[in-house]
Amino acid sequence: MASAVRDLELDLDAFEGPFDLLLTLILKEQLEPAEIDIAAIVVAFVQRLSRPTPLGREGREEIDLDACGEFLVLIAALLEIKARQLFPEEGAELAELEPEEAAEELARRLAEYRRMKEAATWLRERLQGELERYFRLGPAPLAPRAERRLAAQDPQGLATALRGLAVPPPKVSLSHMALRFPPVAQFLERFRAVLRRRRVFDFDGEVAGLSRVEQAVAFLALLELRKAGEVALAQAAPFAPIRVSRDEQERMTQWTVRSA
């Protein structure tokens, strides 16, 4: 059942609540994709899958397939958006490397992150052992007051500091401009416009010829419209074209998508 994905309860540093609310906030640009720990979402989903279903009548494998399909599409789109935000230039940098070099670079970064995770674990354990150590924060109740004195300063230092703040950041290469993903709002408007003209349209046909990133964003826009109750979605079979129609009754439960 597809709602297994959208109702997925998340407890992340930057967000707490169901997965579909997270998506909505990102679509409305009220939440930075860069702030979201995607690995934690994957862990939550896998834990959800491994929980036995309370209803025995429905076959579990079928439920898993539906949920997995939707989840993979959404998480891949999220990952792509986040990666482009975090590393606007590096995508290009890595693409220029030979596969061996790129693998070496990625391995170096993964190993570095792994070491830092270990260090964090050490810090956590250390902190646990230090919980019995209480010390005073701040001055003693009856301590004499400290006075800080500052030597004479050159006012030119102030001018220099402000000039430093007025230096524009290093020029960003223009190559990533081509990689920028279009705003979701653009597709929201586009689909709404199409639906004002026609009662039903074919999603795959509408996004044909767009880049993969654009198609992913278009699909997120489609989900947003459906969530808002503006459209109904239908798909005859897995990998069949998705038909989008103006609200009314919605029967769609299949979420497998070819285009994203």
Partner 1 sequence: MDRPLRLISTDAIVGTPIDALARTIEALLVVASQPLSVEELSAAAGDDAERVETALGLLRERYAEGRSGIVLERVSGGYAFRAAREAAEACGRLFERPVERGLSQAALETLAIVAYMGPVSRPEIARIRGVAADSTVASLVERGLVAEAGRESAPGGAVRYRVTPLFERVFGLDTLAELPRLDDLGGEREAIRERLLAVAEARAS
26-45: which residues touch partner 1 (CB under 8 A)?
32, 34-37
196 is an interface residue for partner 1 by CB under 8 A: no
Residue numbers 143-162 binding partner 1 by CB under 8 A = 143-159, 161-162
* Helices 184-197 and 212-227, axial angle in degrees (round to 10): 60
Distance CA 80, CA 74 (A): 10
d(CA 50, CA 57): 17
Q: Cα separation of 146 and 158, whole Å?
A: 26
CA count, 13 A, side-chain hemisphere, 60: 9
**Out of 95, 123, 200, 208, the residue judged to bind partner 1 by CB under 8 A:** 123
Shortest distance (Å) from residue 85 CB to partner 1: 8
Q: Which is nearer to partner 1, 96 or 130 (CB)?
A: 130
| H helix or E strand, kind and range, residue 17 | strand 16-18
Q: Which of 29, 27, 33, 1 is nearest to 14 (CA)?
A: 33
Choose between 116 and 200: whose C-beta lies nearer to partner 1: 116
Nearest to partner 1 of 137, 237 (CB atom): 137
Task: Tell me if 95 contacts partner 1 by CB under 8 A.
Answer: no
The reply to whether 168 sits near partner 1 by the rule CB under 8 A is yes
Smallest gap, in angstroms, from Cβ of residue 249 to partner 1?
41
State which of residues 136, 196, 197, 251 lies at the interface with partner 1 (CB under 8 A).
136
